Structure 1
Amino acid sequence: MEGEAVSGAQIIAQALRAQNIEYMFGIVGIPVTEIAIAAQAVGIKYVGMRNEQAACYAASAVGYLTGRPGVCLAVSGPGFLHTLGGMANATINCWPLIVIGGSSDRNQETMGAFQEFPQAVRTSMYGRPGSCYIDIPGDFVNLQVNKSSVKYMECCLPPPVSMAEHSAVSKAASIIALSKQPLLIIGKGAAYSHAENNIRKLVDLCGLPFLPTPMAKGVVPDNHPNCVAAARSTALQLADVIILLGARLNWILHFGLPPRYRQDVKVIQIDICAEELGNNVRPAAALLGDINTVTEQGLALQKSLPMNYYTVFHHIRELIPKDCILVSEGANTMDIGRTMLPNFCPRQRLDAGTFGTMGVGLGFAIAAAMVARDHTPGRRVVCIEGDSAFGFSGMEVETICRYNLPILIIVVNNNGIYTGLDANSWEEMLKFGDPATCVPPVSLLPNAHYEKIMSAFGGKGYFVKTPEELQNALKASVTDKQTPSLINVMIDPQSERKKQEFPWLTRSNL
């Protein structure tokens, strides 16, 4: 007894469904009408279009949005030719797409049949995604075969992801750390890679300004404070380091060339396609790999580097109460805090004021806490100090604990006044003799544990070096509304504010 018979059209439809294909667009006709009918029968959604070019555009957009290729169904001759614009667009955009076209019967192959394009779902998705063409001879569509003789391929796995070389990631991290005006350009490759969570973490961790290309808008929200889209031209012209995340230096980005960019701009390029690396501008660091995976590599490495002012203030801004009274003093600490820590109420900020007096911070904080206790119970006081500024009146921590004032003190510690030395550099300096003669006047003792002053008097002290440690300490201090606390935040000793265009007030050559 013969088994159940299936047609070529049914086999094609079932094979597509086995590969998790969900959508098909096209215009039916001989010999592909039966394929559309069979596709619907197995649960593939078929959308009949009015032009094969538009159908091909639609199928390619499905590939971008879902990561699995959409299918464009076209008849032979002009129908297939109309798909070429969509196929080219998908290939250039790196979007997975499958075009299925009917051709003449097999017995007409020697009479001018079509050449075949690469054929496979996997080929459209793996490596650099793009378009594939499957040519189906007309007589295959209606050919009947025994169902038991058909062997379907298992659904291909999601494309493997590749990591960049560790040395390239380290080089890129070093370039970013030394940059003065870095700019992250986010391309649609980042959107396709579903890298939004890691990219948002990287932007927040490093305080990176970013510019999205049109189809990358939303990877990081447009209303994020670091978005520089409104000042696009200025951002491109002033950046000393450009980080390309799945973006290409093509016409959209002015080819990466002057005068749109600085002559000496350094480019860090991250892309899944090796052929893209170095187009138009030779990169200072080239990272070949999946955007999401490479971003995660960079994120892990950045977390191991010393924090800077902008990283610290980002986390403070996110976690302190919006109605708290902010007290701030110190050179870089106070200046950067003015711009990065917003106020929402009047009489909410106290800093060095007109006279520029250092040492006012803890006295101001104690006064604010006393007034808040009497008039707005529960309102917190957050005192943000540079390590030098804290030294002027640090012993007032005993006063804070004696009167049990729930003040949160955050010392942003760069081992110095303006800038300092790390422990290794300090030790090297001491080899030259008396620190009074060989240590720079702006340097303070490296890694001083100011938090122990708070612990000594009964408050809670935290010594933090990483963003995670800072977040945990902030959350614990904000939640505990009864105990005074001090968070000693270690940052890069060479961290400083961005260079000022008119530095009349801070024109020291140090």
Structure 2
Amino acid sequence: MTTKVYSGAEIVAKALKDQGVDVVFGIVGIPVVEVAEAIISEGIKFIGFRNEQSLSYAAGAYGFLSGRPGVCLVVSGPGVVHALAGLVNAQANCWPLLLIGGSSDTYQQGMGAFQELDQVTLCRSYTKISTRSPSISQIPNVIDKAIKASIYGRPGPVYIDLPADFIQGSINYESMNLPGRAADPPKSLADPQSVEEAVRLLLGAKKPLVIIGKGAAYSCAEREINEFIEKTRIPFLPTPMGKGVISDSHPLCVSAARSKAIGDADVVILLGARLNWILHFGAPPKFSKNVKFIQVDILPEEHNNNRRIHVALLGHLPLVVSQLLSCLPSFSYPSTSGYAQSLRRKLEENIASTNEKFKDDTIPMSYHRAFWEIKKKLPQKDIVFVSEGANTMDIARSIFDIHEPRCRLDAGTLGTMGVGLGFAIAAKVYYPSKRVVAIVGDSAFGFSAMEIETAVRANLPMIIIIINNNGIYHGLDTESYNATSLNALPSTALLPDVRYDLIADATGGKGYFVRTPRELDNAMNEALKDNEKVIVINVMIQPGGRKKLEFAWMETTKSKL
């Protein structure tokens, strides 16, 4: 009888296959080439990137979209260091991710081996588990434990160290105890007394508001939350990646009156949303000092973080919302209330103001005019919207409506620039039949521009629209740039009129360079007719010049000392 002997690389690939992994994002080199080849042999899709930061961002986004860890493979030393960016980003956003890093031979530890680095310690601060298998035979069990840690409780990243001698070693496969696919996370209900208390607080509210966070999107709570909103008729506000859990076109969506909605609310129910900087820490003056919070979260430590939570509901969000629905009587918040009417007036006022900005005929185009030309061409459904860049992302958030859950990706909780191309690639892999559109600033695009080649090579058609203002926040026009000495250039200035679109042409995609609304309209028409290529539309807009940088979302009345 022939004994089946497999290498450590093959054991890793088989363990990933048993876990249901269908794609791995990676960059090969010593010592992980054999692992990547074994992964391909197992029928798992391997997408080779150009930079470890981008592939780790892609893995995090894939984890958010799929609910299972996005898997990435990198080389030892510098490869793990570069991929650390994606670990930190996944940790901040609470996304499941599995990073597998090659490392030097165990018998050379401490000897100054090739790319030797204590990667387990390096990754520990940014992961739920950072570990190395004690032997080749334990690799499947270590992968199983890491995957469970990544998705159980609050999701997050994990790291597994893979020494070169483990990769190249071998073992009798039949003698191994294989764990199989890790079970989905257990789901828990909230304390019934707390649910009743939350209902009493909601029923007594004069100005209630529901805030829908990306935790609601991740937990696939759209059915329950839609039912909750339809039953209660309470106004709701989605956070950036909570958009689409309920369509932005819903009449109770108050995104266009965000400041007034949160400033006037007396009871706020947080559904998968944290009181961090995105929600101004729940603090005055953005929120009322007397506001009362109901928070649904999977992590008990999140409750009472930054502001006192009056009712903490710990559990799986869809189940907890179902509990609230079961306890609610025939309650419907009146649309004739003063709060509802004031929000409606503010919505109409802000929408009218934005619509006026769409009419700006100035050349170069403004942000609003460029976004309007793009918005009116994009389909309402089956589109995944990726957004990054400073002004580009901030302005776009209030202009582009999202109608489906888990169809918007942006810089997220960590405010990470450079995620756009990695996110777009992950989205197209997960949603092959949806149109992926990434609208990115020129500075943000520069972080990951060579992943255009990755997308072309992997046959992942998408549309990348670069909003090019020649700088970071603000740039200079060509005349001003050329008239300024190098040492006097603003730190925000980039070269004017860079032809980023030619990267697409050079790699087998299709690029467009546009300056006017008509040119942008034509480019959008052509791009939307082509569902086989990677399209880059380079849109020149007003540079902004030497304006003072202001960030309204960071305003505070407190001393910085």
- Compute the displacement of 1:169 (Å): 0.8
- Compute the displacement of 1:153 (Å): 1.1
- Residue 233 of structure 1 corresponds to which residue in structure 2? 259
**Bigger Cα displacement from structure 2, 229-238 vs 115-124:** 115-124
SS at match of 2:308: coil
SS at match of 1:218: coil
**C-alpha separation in 1, matches of 2:20 and 2:250:** 36
**C-alpha separation in 1, matches of 2:81 and 2:119:** 12
Instruction: Determine if contact 1:23/1:59 at 8 Å carries over to the other structure.
Output: no
Deviations 1:370-429 (CA, angstroms, capped at 9, x unpaired) = xxxxxxxxxxxxxxxxxxxxxxxxxxxxxxxxxxxxxxxxxxxxxxxxxxxxxxxxxxxx
SS at match of 2:166: helix
**C-alpha separation in 2, matches of 1:292 and 1:309:** 21
Instruction: Determine if contact 2:280/2:286 at 8 Å carries over to the other structure.
Output: yes
* Matching residue's letter, 1:272: I
* Matching residue's letter, 2:198: A
Deviations 1:70-109 (CA, angstroms, capped at 9, x unpaired) = 1111111110001111101111211110000011111022
Deviations 1:464-488 (CA, angstroms, capped at 9, x unpaired) = xxxxxxxxxxxxxxxxxxxxxxxxx
* Matching residue's letter, 1:252: I
SS at match of 1:155: coil
Alignment of 1:376-395 (within 5 A): none
Deviations 1:12-70 (CA, angstroms, capped at 9, x unpaired) = 01101111111111110011111111111112111101111110000111110001111
Instruction: Determine if contact 1:22/1:70 at 8 Å carries over to the other structure.
Output: no
**C-alpha separation in 1, matches of 2:155 and 2:252:** 31
* Matching residue's letter, 1:74: V
- Residue 56 of structure 2 corresponds to which residue in structure 1? 56
| One of 105, 108, 130 as aligned partner of 2:156 | 130
* Matching residue's letter, 1:231: A
| One of 299, 307, 312 as aligned partner of 2:331 | 307
Find out whether 1:156 has 2:160 as its counterpart. Answer: no
- Compute the displacement of 1:184 (Å): 0.4
The change in CA–CA distance for 1:208 and 1:267 in structure 2 (over 3 A counts) is same
- Residue 114 of structure 1 corresponds to which residue in structure 2? 118
The change in CA–CA distance for 1:65 and 1:309 in structure 2 (over 3 A counts) is closer
**C-alpha separation in 1, matches of 2:117 and 2:277:** 38
SS at match of 1:269: strand
- Residue 24 of structure 2 corresponds to which residue in structure 1? 24
SS at match of 2:161: strand
- Residue 43 of structure 1 corresponds to which residue in structure 2? 43
* Matching residue's letter, 1:279: N
**C-alpha separation in 2, matches of 1:109 and 1:174:** 61
- Residue 191 of structure 2 corresponds to which residue in structure 1? 165
TM-score by length of 2: 0.54
**C-alpha separation in 2, matches of 1:218 and 1:81:** 34
| One of 318, 323, 326 as aligned partner of 1:292 | 318
- Residue 69 of structure 1 corresponds to which residue in structure 2? 69
**C-alpha separation in 2, matches of 1:34 and 1:52:** 18
SS at match of 1:184: strand
The alignment's C-alpha RMSD in Å is 1.9
Instruction: Determine if contact 1:72/1:100 at 8 Å carries over to the other structure.
Output: yes
**C-alpha separation in 2, matches of 1:133 and 1:190:** 26
Deviations 1:128-152 (CA, angstroms, capped at 9, x unpaired) = 1101000011011121222222332
Find out whether 1:256 has 2:282 as its counterpart. Answer: yes
**C-alpha separation in 2, matches of 1:242 and 1:248:** 12
Q: How many residues align?
A: 314
Deviations 1:322-369 (CA, angstroms, capped at 9, x unpaired) = xxxxxxxxx99xx99xx9xxxxxxxxxxxxxxxxxxxxxxxxxxxxxx
- Residue 372 of structure 1 corresponds to which residue in structure 2? none
- Compute the displacement of 1:110 (Å): 3.9
* Matching residue's letter, 1:57: Y
SS at match of 2:88: helix
**C-alpha separation in 1, matches of 2:333 and 2:246:** 21
Structure 1 gaps of 5+ residues are: 314-330, 340-510
* Matching residue's letter, 2:318: N
SS at match of 1:83: helix
**C-alpha separation in 2, matches of 1:287 and 1:147:** 46
- Residue 217 of structure 2 corresponds to which residue in structure 1? 191
- Compute the displacement of 1:306 (Å): 3.6
**C-alpha separation in 1, matches of 2:110 and 2:78:** 20
TM-score by length of 1: 0.59
Instruction: Determine if contact 2:234/2:333 at 8 Å carries over to the other structure.
Output: no
The change in CA–CA distance for 1:8 and 1:187 in structure 2 (over 3 A counts) is same
Q: Which has the higher contact order (CA 8 A, sep 6+)?
A: 2
Instruction: Determine if contact 1:100/1:134 at 8 Å carries over to the other structure.
Output: yes
- Compute the displacement of 1:2 (Å): 4.5
- Residue 247 of structure 1 corresponds to which residue in structure 2? 273
**C-alpha separation in 1, matches of 2:176 and 2:117:** 26
**C-alpha separation in 2, matches of 1:150 and 1:31:** 24
- Residue 3 of structure 1 corresponds to which residue in structure 2? 3
- Residue 436 of structure 1 corresponds to which residue in structure 2? none
Alignment of 1:341-380 (within 5 A): none
* Matching residue's letter, 1:114: D
SS at match of 1:92: helix
* Matching residue's letter, 1:148: E
SS at match of 1:24: strand
The change in CA–CA distance for 1:309 and 1:218 in structure 2 (over 3 A counts) is closer
* Matching residue's letter, 1:168: S
Structure 2 gaps of 5+ residues are: 132-145, 345-561
**C-alpha separation in 2, matches of 1:182 and 1:102:** 51
**C-alpha separation in 1, matches of 2:204 and 2:241:** 30
The change in CA–CA distance for 1:10 and 1:259 in structure 2 (over 3 A counts) is same
* Matching residue's letter, 2:150: S
Larger radius of gyration: 1
**C-alpha separation in 2, matches of 1:261 and 1:113:** 46
**C-alpha separation in 1, matches of 2:207 and 2:174:** 65
Instruction: Determine if contact 1:4/1:147 at 8 Å carries over to the other structure.
Output: yes
SS at match of 1:270: strand
**C-alpha separation in 1, matches of 2:51 and 2:195:** 46
Find out whether 1:91 has 2:91 as its counterpart. Answer: yes
Deviations 1:446-473 (CA, angstroms, capped at 9, x unpaired) = xxxxxxxxxxxxxxxxxxxxxxxxxxxx
**C-alpha separation in 2, matches of 1:187 and 1:71:** 24
**C-alpha separation in 1, matches of 2:19 and 2:309:** 38
Instruction: Determine if contact 1:20/1:68 at 8 Å carries over to the other structure.
Output: no
**C-alpha separation in 2, matches of 1:57 and 1:85:** 8
Instruction: Determine if contact 1:26/1:47 at 8 Å carries over to the other structure.
Output: yes
